[in-house]
Amino acid sequence: MQPLFPSSYFAPAAYFFELVKYKDVIIDVHEHFPKQTWRNRCSIYSPNGVQHLIVPIHNRKDKTPLNEIKISYAERWQTNHWRSIEAAYRKSPFFEYYEFDLKPIFENKFEYLSQLNNAALSSILQLTELTISKEESKAYNPNPEKDYRPILAKVQLREHNKNCKRYQQAFEERHGFLPNLSCLDVLFNLGPKSKEYFLTLDT
């Protein structure tokens, strides 16, 4: 049975610690969109510490499936997100190595959140050379055998913090090591060693 993972916007490291255990996964795009999780947000290491980047969505009705959640472009969030990422990682060892692969994601106007998240995950898998096959769910599954959807909840992420091995971060001398940030933090700081980091972490 393929494990079921949530859709996420540049998912936190803990997501990948679990993802790399499998060769084939299903991304759930039919669950009801839950509030206050990392489906439409990610956390980066800014000069001032943790910064949350949130993808704005249109007003939705209760129990709206994630694949029907539309992105709002009333504000220039793409420009703001990319500028924040540049400010956070321009001096990181591998930012210039990956920026031209990732910047198009912040230039294309995806209609649905699931489309944006799929593009983000596909890019990270390609750039880290993780050979994981993924497909989107065909319907809502309330009780999958292997359910990783809760991993994006704040409580679950805090539980994973203790498993995050330290690596050098750009502003660590200011705020110390910050665990379990977006996969972008791992990628820009570790580059080609990102795959090894995800595969060898203690869980």
Parse the chain into domains and list their residue ranges: 4-193
**Is residue 173 predicted with pLDDT exceeding 60?**
yes
> E strands within 13-148?
24-28, 41-46, 49-54, 133-136
pTM of model > 0.85: yes
In the three-class reduction of DSSP (H, G, I as helix; E, B as strand; rest coil), residue 109 is classed as: coil
Q: Residue 134 corresponds to which amino acid?
A: K
Task: Look at residue 203 in the predicted model and tell me its pLDDT.
Answer: 43
Nearest in space to 50 (alpha carbons), one of 197, 188, 202, 170? 170
What confidence category does residue 36 fall into, taking pLDDT thresholds of 50, 70 and 90?
A: confident
Distance separating alpha carbons of residues 159 and 181, to the nearest angstrom: 13
Task: Look at residue 201 in the predicted model and tell me its pLDDT.
Answer: 62
**Is residue 155 predicted with pLDDT exceeding 70?**
no
DSSP H/E element including 15: helix 13-19
Distance separating alpha carbons of residues 42 and 10, to the nearest angstrom: 6
**Is residue 59 predicted with pLDDT exceeding 80?**
no
Across residues 58-63, what is the average pLDDT? 76
**Is residue 97 predicted with pLDDT exceeding 70?**
yes
Task: Look at residue 196 in the predicted model and tell me its pLDDT.
Answer: 96
Distance separating alpha carbons of residues 171 and 69, to the nearest angstrom: 35
Across residues 39-45, what is the average pLDDT? 96
What are the tokens at 185? 């933090």
Nearest in space to 38 (alpha carbons), one of 100, 121, 99, 139? 121
DSSP 182: B
Handedness of CA 14, 20, 22, 25 (dihedral sign): positive
